[in-house]
Every structure is written in C-alpha cells, then in structure tokens.
A and B are shown apart, each in its own frame.
Chain A
Amino acid sequence: MLQKNVMRDSRKKWMQLAAIGIIIILSSLTYSMMFYGISGIEEPTESYLEDYNQEDFSVEMLNTVTEQEAQDPEIANVLSEGSFSLSDIKKTDTELFMRLMDNRIKAFEQQIPETNLELRQYKVAYFDWNGNSHTALIAKDAEQINRSFIEQGRKPSNISELALNKIYAEKNNIEIGNSFVLGGEEYTVTGFVLFPDYTLPVFDDSFNFDAALKPLVLLSDSAYEQLNAQERFRLAGSTLDGSAIDTAFDKEQLPFINQILATENTTRSGAIYRKLDEGKTMSLGLSIFIAAIAVIIVSIMIFNLLHAERSQIGILKALGYTGRKSLFLTSSQYPGSLSSCWLSAICWAGLLLNR
C-alpha cells in the first residue's frame, strides 16, 4: 500500500521531480563538461610544456658585470671602452660575453647543484601596425630549455623569415606567407610558434596582456643577431630531479643574481597553471552554485510537503505507524532521496577534484 501511494503521488508530482532531476543533471553536466573541457586543454598543454622543456625556474641577472667579474683583464678592457651593459659587451666581444655567461652558469651550478642552466637571449622591439603601437618579443631559439614549438608551418631558416605566435597572427589577420615588418626589416612569415616560457605575453613593464598587440617572434639565429633592438638576458633553469627550486641564494657567492623565480610564481611562464586551476575552481564553483539552488528548492519542497501532510503524518502515527513509515507513506521521501543523491554527487565531485 505504501508503494502504491508513493507511485501514485510521484505520478502527480512528475513536474516537480523532473525539475529537480533536471537541476541535478545540469549541475553534474556543468561540472563534467567544464572539468573535461579543462582536462582537454590541460593534458596537451602539460605534454607540450614537458616535451619542449619549460624552465622550472629563471635567474634574473644584473645587466652589468660584478666587481669580481670586472677583475678579468679582458672584461676590464671592454669596460674601459665604455661598454657596461651585458648587451654592449655582447656587441663588442661575443666570445667574451659567452665566456662571462658560462662562468655565471658554472658558479650557479656549483652553489646550487642538481640544476641545469641555459642562457635565454631575447630582444624587445617596438613598432606600429595598423595605427597601433605593438611590442614584440623576439626570442633566440633555445637548444635545451624553453625550446620553440612550431604549431603550424615551419621554422624560419634564413635571414628574411620569421615565425609568430598564432593568436597574434589571427587577431591581426596575418597568415603564413604574409610579410611582416619588424625593426625596419621585412620578413616572410613561415609558421606559428610557441615558447614554453611565454604562456602569457608578459615581456615589458606594462600590465597590458593584449595578445593582439604583443607578438612572440622567432627568427633564424643570424637574423636575430642582426635585428636592431634592445637585447636582454636571463638564465633559464631546470632541476635535474624535478624537485622545486629553493629561490633563496647566497648573494655573496652569486652577486650577479637579482632573483630566482620559480615558474609557478612567474606570470609569463606560470600563468597557464593558474588559469587551469581557476578553470577547475570555476567549474566546481558553478556546479556547487547550481546544486545549491537545487538544495534550496528541495528544502522548500520538503518543508511545504511536511507542512501540507502534517495532519496525515499525525494520523498515521496515531494509528501506530512509526515516524519513518509515516513519512514514507506520504511523499516527503522523494525530495529527501533526491537531495541525498545530489549531496553524494557533490561529495564525489569534490573527491575527484582533490584527487
């Protein structure tokens, strides 16, 4: 009899039950779709960053030589000629510059073992395009860490070719084979490139992250060296055992270092991880929000049902039915069961996310 009453009651309340069901399905779908959507981005991104050896940390250096480095007669000679910055030293004597950088890398690896460093050379050029001021970052192709990834087309192979990042090209209607003027030189676009240490185009002091105004550029080595633009340097590093880098260092032993930045704390390289985390949090938050609405609706329904069926429940209890059976005989168990299902689903979702 209890089952009969419940079945008939549920047939009458199909609309309410369907509404709750839809909300629960919506909530689960939102979570699942967003979670899998993010996973769909996360997996290839992580795979790409691993394959192309994204730096684990970067070492920001002084753009000048230290007092100790200045003791070197060859360096002292260059300094006496008026070349003080690293880029000036490189222009004056590239071999000397490379030796200076090797010495810095050795000093670092001696102080902080189990690390591998590579010099990251890049230039920043400013130019106008279609009436807007653009800032380009031109990175020299790396050999080990932060290797460039050509997602379409091919790498530039001669002095008149370059590759751009795809999003910039799309936003500015540039296609492979088009011409692109940079630093007064005209280049042919041969492909679309990505750099693992620039997941977000942050390469100057501005807070403008507009990808339409900030191209990432790859030139052939000879074209890079010939490009007339301000050059900067840092050391890109990776830990050999995959552990996190300790960003504290001995300033006396490593006076050329300004700071060591872990990738996860660096906007240009670690932003992607924060974006992925934000996406996951958003997907859980949104589904919790939808589900919270479901809980409120279910609670109101339970309250109204209990209120409406208070007398019936009382009569049944007076007749000798237990409280549980009385509730079952009325239809209050439906929203209760549904809300229990929902709570279980949310718990599972939470567990999955924290896995």
Chain B
Amino acid sequence: MRRIISVLLENEPGALSRVVGLFSQRGYNIETLNVAPTEDTTLSRLTVTTIGDDRKIEQITKQLNKLVDVVKLVDLTEGAHIERDLMLIKVRATGAQRAEIKRCTDIFRGQIVDVGPSVYTIMLSGTADKLDSFVEAMGDAAILEVVRSGVAGIARGEKVLRL
C-alpha cells in the first residue's frame, strides 16, 4: 500500500543523505521525495511516499525515528490529509494542437506559464493521480519534458506536525 510519511528533520549537512541512505540500505522503496526548509530554518520538512505492507511501513517509520537527525514524523495516510504534487510540463504545441492543449489545461485547472512559437510550458498541481491523468491526456508524442516536485503533504484539521 502507498504511504505518505512526513518528517521533520534537523537542517544539518548530511541529514538528508541519512534518510535516503536508510531507504536504499534496508531495501525500502522511495516513490517520491520532497524536501525543503520550514519557517524554522533549523528544520527541514521532508515528505516521502513509499510502498509496503503494514509491517514494512512500521519498520520504516521506526527506522526513520531512530535516525538522530529525525525530530518527528507522521504517517499522513493514517488519517485525513491533503497531498499535492507540482508538475511543470513542456509540450509541443503547434497549429490546431495549441487550442486543444489550452482546453485540456483548463479542464485540469493548470496554467500555461511559458509560451514559445512551438511549445507550451504548463504548470499543474494536485494529487499524483491527477498529474498522471494529465500526462496521459497529453499523449507521448506531445511531451518534451516533465518535472515533478514529488508529493508534499499535510494533515487535515487541527493535527499539526511541529516541535
């Protein structure tokens, strides 16, 4: 099962490599990984999506917690949560296709953020599923480049992950 684990990490050199190393060392999967500093510059917030049965996920969260640089973590998929993935996608857009792509972008509530004589760059955010559907809708032929941030997630309601 797919899980989204959100981690507060000391913003120290090498901290990220300990997290990534843990996954490869113990044979866990990383589907996506997103990391950036928080409002408290001594902390980074890291969101990792991974796949495994309950026992494996329990081991992953325990092993992550054991890393000295990990301050706190939560498995967001255990409760209601919001997840967003950001995609920048560059597609070939010529002739009649230009209007078609624009329409499709609107349907997905994306934005065209850069326009060239024969290309569009579209920005789209949403769940990983939604981005996958958009990529499919564009079709292989049109796609020139895809960049995704990986999932960032947060719990719904009053629940917070902080010190």
Tell me whether A and B are bound partners: no
Residues of B within 8 A of A (CB): none
Residues of A within 8 A of B (CB): none
